[in-house]
Every structure is written in structure tokens, then in C-alpha cells.
A and B are shown apart, each in its own frame.
Chain A
Amino acid sequence: MKSSTAQSIAHPEDLLRILVDAVDEYAIFAMDSDGHILTWNAGAQRLKGYKADEIIGQHFSKFYSKEDVERRHPWNELMMAAEHGKYQEEGWRYRKDGAKFWASVTITALRDEKGRLTGFGKVTRDLTNKREQEEKLRESYANLEIRIQERTKELLAEKLRAEEAVKARDQFFSMASHELKTPLSSLKMQTQIRKRRIAKGDYSVFQPNRLNELCSDDERQVDRLTSLVDRMLDISRISASQFQLTLEKTEMVEVVEECIKRMLPALQEAGIECNFVHEQPIVGMWDRLRIEQVMSNLLTNAIKYAPGKPVEVRLLNRGDCIEIYVKDFGAGISAVDQEKIFLPFERAANSEKIAGLGLGLFISRKIAEAHGGKMQVESAPNRGTKFSIFLPVISEEKKETTYEIAENTCH
């Protein structure tokens, strides 16, 4: 080394040649003005795979793809280098063994002191790793973008669900206040009307018969309020899984008949003729009050959503279980809403103008399920709606006082 260094100081051109030969990161070689290779360094051998004696004298287009050669790209590079002094690009080049690598190429035109083109210098760097890394980066960036888009979509859906839940809750509060204020309106008016009469010296309200009537009026409004509050309490009990049944020996035909009888004035007012079809009396262990609640809810729905049309109630003995259905001939429920109506606070799309808490069907289904039964809806727009409740026939021997919400035993 020492001697060659001393030598290079004496001959600067040799120093340059020695330096260039030693560089193995870059392929550095000279070409004549037509592109034939004149020199070859260690880097060129490493990158291109040719030894000096294999390649010197050959045309540099050997390193290019067939397509590049066909479109005369190597010659165009030389023309551009000659014209502008220098030509740079990145592109695919081929090694002796056929493997391709991503190259950064600089071709410099060499001219003599009179400016005549004597040849070209070419410096090539292998950027395959850099390109691979860039591609990986691009790929992971694209993946990241896809994941961000997916997550954004999920978040938007979650936001929409949350907004819908908030909307349903707000509607519930608005409805609850409306429902509570209806019996309160009558109570307030009745009381105020009486006070006004007494103030005017009209004491007819104190006649025993009249007083009895007025008390009954008040009692009915209080009962309405109590039942509303009970329904709201049911919701919190169901949410807290503390919803329990009190099973007693019950004859179902009588229960259903009794419910219809109690609701007859409201049914008649809505112009509904209610037809109850049943077979022999059926006795089982059921929670009578809860079944009455379901029936009252289904008949109230018919009054609200299908007034002026007949309603058919049927009680069918299906051996292991009974089916009670209430079928109306109203506007029906769309397939989308059929899923929704059993959820708490949710109501069908066409129910905005109709008062209701959106709790009745949710509670009714829970009552059916607590009995080990189920509740179903069959409906289509303009084809009416049929709500069926299936309850297992439990004999007295198997009696238990309370049932947690059980798995379906009716299939």
C-alpha cells in the first residue's frame, strides 16, 4: 500500500484509476463514443457479475432489458448525455446471471480540450434494497390507509348506533312525559272543575252517588298512572335481571276472555270487532297477571295501529305448549321494523304520531321468555300483523314459585 500511494502521488491519473478500481459500491466504467466498454472496476464486477475480460469491448446495452434495447433506450441515453453533458435515471438493469436490479445511473459525456466527444463515463449504483424498502413502506402505508378506513367505518357505525340509542332514549322520555301527562290532565281538570263549582256555590259534587262516580273517575286515572309507572319499573327490573314470575294454576281461556271484556269499551271506541276463537279450557302454571299484561299490550297495539278493522284472537292447544295470537288487519310492519319493535324504546317507523313508550312488546317478549316460551311476529306492509305468544304447559307437579328468564322450551 505504501509503495502504491507513493506511486500515485507521482502520477495523479494512476491515483484516480486505483481509487476507482477499489470502489465496490459503485460500478464505474468508461465507454467510447458509441457505448463500447473500455474500463471495468471492482464495483462493476460485483454489480453486473461480469469480469473485466468478459465485458471490455462489449456494448453497454448488454445490461438493459430486451424492451429497452428495442426502443433504443441505451443509445438515447448517450444522445442525451452528449447533448446535456450528463444523463441521470433510475431503472431496471440486468446482471450476467439474468437477475435484475434497480439501478441509479449517471452517464457523463467526456470531451477533449477542443470539445469533441471522446466517450462516456458511467456510474451505476444498486438501489434494489432501497427500492424494496420503499415498496414495503408504500405497501404498509397502503395497508395502514385501508385499516384507517375500515376503523373509520367501524367508528362511524358505532357513532350512528350510539346516536340512534340516544334518539330512542330521547323519544322515550318525550313519550313517557306525554303518556304520564294524559291521565294527569284528566285528574287536574276534574279536580279544578269541582273546586270551581264549589266556589260558585254548586255543592252537587257532594251528593253520595255523584261523589262515588267522581272518585271512580279519579281512581281510573290513578290506575293508568300506576300501570305506566309499573311498565317503566319493569324495564329496570329486566335490565337488572330481577324479572320474576309468580306461577299459579291458571285457566287460560278465562284469562283471555277477561282481558278482552275489560278492553271492550276501548276496542269499541276504536271501531274494532274482537273475535275470540278457542278450544276447551286449558289449565297450566302461568303468571296470570303477566299474561294479562301481554294480552292488554297486544290489544292496545291493535287499537293504536289498526283501528276500524276487526281483530282475531285465538287460543290453540299445541300439546306441550299453547299458542295465543292476536291478529289485526292494520298497516302491517316492514321486515326491518319487525326486528326493531322487540327492542326497548324502539318503535316502528310509522308510529311517530302514535303515543306509546316503545316498551310493550319488549316486556311482552320477556314475559313469554321468562315462562320458557317465546313471542313472534308475522306481518307484511298492508297485510296486517299477527303477534303470537307460545307458552309451555307446565303441570302443577313441576311447580316452582319463581322463574328466572329461562331458555325457550317451546319450539
Chain B
Amino acid sequence: MKSRKILVIEDDSDIRRNMKVLLESEGYEVELACNGKEGLQALETCVDLPALIILDLMMPIMDGFEFRRVQQVSPKISHIPVAIMTANGHLVEKQTRLDASAGIPKPPDIDVVIQVTSEILAKAN
């Protein structure tokens, strides 16, 4: 069965809410986390794993870099593709460094978010 679940890890509550509204209106199931640590907890406890993680990089407690480092060495979740989302430059360089499937610059264009999401999910399923 095809998973339509997306985990959004983002520290800004307004961006988080907007991502949820956008992705749900596209028919995805959305789970939210405020930082990397919460994201890992969500992955730990969820019954069915998400098909994509949209990851902010600069966050308190555990940032996107640290989250990705832990994710990549955790067998259960290492396969889940990640799209990074960042306001500061060097998007391609960061995407390569983090071995991410996509990079979304901030402020995000919703068409880009929708396109990236559908492409990655099509590949994953």
C-alpha cells in the first residue's frame, strides 16, 4: 500500500501550520515536530513510518544536521527520503552534504513544495 504520510520538522509554529494546511489540502497525511529531537521521537513511536521527511535545518535543541546524522545511522528510518528546507544560502551544497533528496529554499514556493513532495513519493512508492 502506498504511504501518503509526511513528517514536517520545523521550529516555527506558523510555518509548521502552513505546511500542514498545504500538504493536507493535497491529500497527504501530515505529522509535525518542532525540532530534530521531537522528530526522532515521532519516528520512534509512530506505527507506520512517513514516506518523506521535510526538514528545517536551523532549529533549537536538535538542528536538522544532527537529526540527519542520527537518522542515517538508524536502520529503521535511514531509508526515508529527506527534503531540506532552509533560509540561508548554499542550498545545493547543504543538500549534497546531507545526502538529501531535495532542497527547498525559504520562503518556500508552494508549487515547489508540492512538486518535490509528489516526485519523491512517486519514486519511493
User: Measured between alpha carbons, how far is A177 from B110 in the docked complex, in Å?
Assistant: 20
- Say yes or no: A193 contacts B108, CB within 8 Å: no
With beta carbons under 8 angstroms apart, the residue of B63, B106, B110 that contacts A192 is B110
Within 8 A of B (CB), among A176-202: 177-178, 181-190, 192-193, 196-197
With beta carbons under 8 angstroms apart, the residue of A174, A181, A190, A353 that contacts B106 is A181
- Say yes or no: A185 contacts B108, CB within 8 Å: yes
- Say yes or no: B110 contacts A178, CB within 8 Å: no
Most buried by B among A185, A221, A305: A185
- Say yes or no: A353 contacts B59, CB within 8 Å: yes
With beta carbons under 8 angstroms apart, the residue of A186, A197, A304, A307 that contacts B15 is A186
Interface size class of B (residues with CB under 8 A): 20 to 34
Interface 1/0s, chain B 62-98, versus A by CB < 8 A? 0100000000000000000000000110000000000
User: Measured between alpha carbons, how far is A217 from B25 in the docked complex, in Å?
Assistant: 18
With A174-B88, A307-B60, A354-B60 already in contact, the answer to whether A182 and B15 are too (CB < 8 A) is: yes
For residue B109, CB closer than 8 A to chain A, the reply is yes
- Say yes or no: B25 contacts A221, CB within 8 Å: no
Count contacts on A: residues with CB < 8 A to the other chain: 27
- Closest A residue, CB atoms, query B16: A186
User: Measured between alpha carbons, how far is A353 from B69 in the docked complex, in Å?
Assistant: 15
The 7 closest A-B pairs by CB, nearest first: A181-B87, A189-B18, A185-B107, A186-B14, A188-B107, A192-B110, A353-B63
Binding site for B on A (CB under 8 A): 174, 177-178, 181-190, 192-193, 196-197, 217, 220-221, 269, 304-305, 307, 353-355
A-B contact pairs, 18 of them (CB 8 A): A181-B106, A181-B107, A183-B14, A184-B106, A185-B108, A187-B107, A188-B109, A189-B19, A189-B22, A189-B108, A193-B21, A193-B22, A193-B25, A197-B25, A307-B61, A353-B63, A354-B58, A354-B60
* 9 extra interface residue pairs, beta carbon distance < 8 Å, beyond A184-B106, A185-B108, A269-B13: A178-B87, A186-B14, A188-B108, A189-B18, A190-B18, A192-B109, A193-B25, A305-B60, A353-B59
